[in-house]
Amino acid sequence: MLRLEYGRMLQDGLDGEHGLSRTQLAELVRRFSGVQAEVRARRAGGEYGFYDLAEQGSAIRSITQFASGVGQAFDHVLVLGIGGSALGARALLTALRAPAWNELDDEGRDFYPRLTILDNVDPASVHAALGRIDPRRVLVNVVSKSGSTAETMAQYLVVRAWLEEALGPAATRHLVFTTDPERGILREIARGEGIATVDVPPPVGGRFSVLSPVGLLPAALVGIDIAALLSGAERALRDAESPDLLANRPALHAALHWAADTWLGARIDVLMPYSDRLRDVAEWYRQLWAESLGKRHDRRGAEVFAGPTPVGAVGATDQHSQVQLFMEGPFDKVLTLVSVDDHGVDVVIPGRSELPADLSYLPGRSLNELLAAECQATSGALASAGRMHMLLRLPEVTEDTVGELLMFYQIATGFAGAWYGVNPFDQPGVELGKQLTFAAMGRSGSGSVPTPPADPGDFA
Ligand code: PA5
């Protein structure tokens, strides 16, 4: 079970005049019933579809069946998707499979396939991936809820031609689409050609879909226990029902971040796991938080230009990179340090006779101890410098705790939407860029697109 320590968000946990006061905390507690009521009402109205993902009995059965049947006939899985259709699968792979998974031999991977996720149209990455993968041994999972995303569909066209060149009509047996159950071109192609599909539940948006078939299919294909992910997620959902803000961890995360931003000007939200395995959870969170909360208009249509800026970091690596800024830069940040009690393995640091005295504290201690000490020490140093932060403690990195962590952040994002008064489930700000891309690519019928200000053309 996750533990959220938030004492160092408060003035009395920090040196100097920084942090939220107890009065402000009491004000958050007082206002919480209204926020929770709004979230409940919107859920009842059909928003917040991801709350229902803990109950997916039949989807779990069919994904598991597919993964252990057809899926195991392949030794490479290639996921094509972008944004919410890719980041969740990557977070799951990094957290729950052995490090450097694709470099392990069959035995090292327990005979589960390798997994490559292409989430860009950078020709160098696409070309390299297709050069590395054997088309006869690959299962390609095209993930697009809408089926209209330019990057994913461009990847699909390239990969489909590559498959057909090697396999002819048998190419269709190497494809599985994750898409809307009814709508979109992928659904149409799948119907027409008998391509396997799994459904994205319509009420679940891309960045909230990691625990839907979007993330679960690739996860199951590489042997991740998807039922355990969902049972962890269920715990976060239960937590989120508490009417007491201080016992409702996801709601508390949202409330403290909103208050730090709105009342104290701390607009930057740093997520810093002390675990390489959680590095891509920070990447996933960055998209979740940014795309959901960064909004020009609130729900009533007023211009608010809201949204904290999420930043990813990794402990202890970033202690030698960004922590200087976090300690001494502007007071515009809130950090969450994520610590892991048990990393599953440990490595003891051996001694050496030529070691200087100032390193003599290392031999005989373990890397686990060192990492934990660094996390505690960074927290202490941040507190001394008056820097607001929280500690999120995970007992270990397993399907159960990762499922809880991902759902915790999704719920927190939903609550944050209510605190900010914005719709966390749309992304109107990315539309104009899409329209301009269509126009630049000469798409017919792209309609009238506003002309951006002329580039004065300065260059050096
Ligand atoms: O969170 C979101 O809604 C987006 O990031 C989408 O996931 C992303 O744009 C991909 O969309 P689609 O799955 O429709 O291809």
Confidence of residue 350 (pLDDT cuts 50, 70, 90): very high
The rounded Å distance from CA 307 to ligand 1 centre is: 19
Tens of pLDDT, residues 192-206:
999 999 999 999 999
- Residue 452: the pLDDT is 86
Nearest-angstrom CA–CA distance, 318 and 80: 30
Q: Read out DSSP for 85-151?
A: GTHHHHHHHHHHS-TTGGGS-TTTTTTPPEEEEE-S--HHHHHHHHHHS-GGGEEEEEE-SSS--HH
Question: Tokens 């201080």 sit at which residue?
Answer: 246
Tens of pLDDT, residues 395-443:
999 999 999 999 999 999 999 999 999 999 999 998 888 888 888 888 7
Residue 191 vs residues 11, 172, 185, 457: alpha-carbon distances, Å: 60, 12, 10, 49
- Nearest CA among 96, 68, 93 for reference residue 79: 93
Q: What percentage of residues in the chain have a pLDDT greater than 70?
A: 99
- Residue 267: the pLDDT is 97
Query: For 85-89, 109-113, 287-291, 452-456, which range has the lowest pLDDT when averaged over its residues?
Result: 452-456
* Contact assessment for residue 94 and residue 280, using Cβ atoms and an 8 Å cutoff: yes
Give the closest residue (by CA) to ligand 1 atom 3: 206
Q: What percentage of residues in the chain have a pLDDT greater than 90?
A: 90
Provide residues with CB under 6 Å of ligand 1: 82-85, 144-146, 149, 152, 205-207, 291, 427
Residues recognised as catalytic: 291, 320, 434
> What domains are defined for the chain?
3-44+230-425 (3.40.50.10490), 50-227 (3.40.50.10490)
Mean model confidence pLDDT for the chain: 96
The rounded Å distance from CA 206 to ligand 1 centre is: 5
pTM beyond 0.85: the answer is yes
Asked if the model's pLDDT at residue 454 lies above 70, the reply is: yes
Tens of pLDDT, residues 158-204:
999 999 999 999 999 999 999 999 999 999 999 999 999 999 999 99
Give the closest residue (by CA) to ligand 1 atom 9: 83
The residue-averaged pLDDT of 292-302 equals: 98
Confidence of residue 239 (pLDDT cuts 50, 70, 90): very high
Buried b (16+ CB within 10 A) or exposed e, 306-345: bbbbbbbbbbbebbeebbeebeeeebebbbbbbbbeebee
Asked if the model's pLDDT at residue 446 lies above 70, the reply is: no
The rounded Å distance from CA 153 to ligand 1 centre is: 12
Burial of 353 (0-12, 13-18, 19+ CB in 10 A): exposed
- Residue 439: the pLDDT is 85
The residue-averaged pLDDT of 241-249 equals: 97
Confidence of residue 445 (pLDDT cuts 50, 70, 90): low
For 80, the enclosing helix (H) or strand (E) is strand 76-80
The residue-averaged pLDDT of 367-393 equals: 97
Tens of pLDDT, residues 277-292:
999 999 999 999 999 9
Q: Read out DSSP for 5-63?
A: E-GGGBGGGSSSS-SB-HHHHHHHHHHHHHHHHHHHHHHHTT--GGGGGG--HHHHHHH
Give the closest residue (by CA) to ligand 1 atom 11: 144
Local structure of residue 366 (DSSP, 8 states): B
- Residue 382: the pLDDT is 98
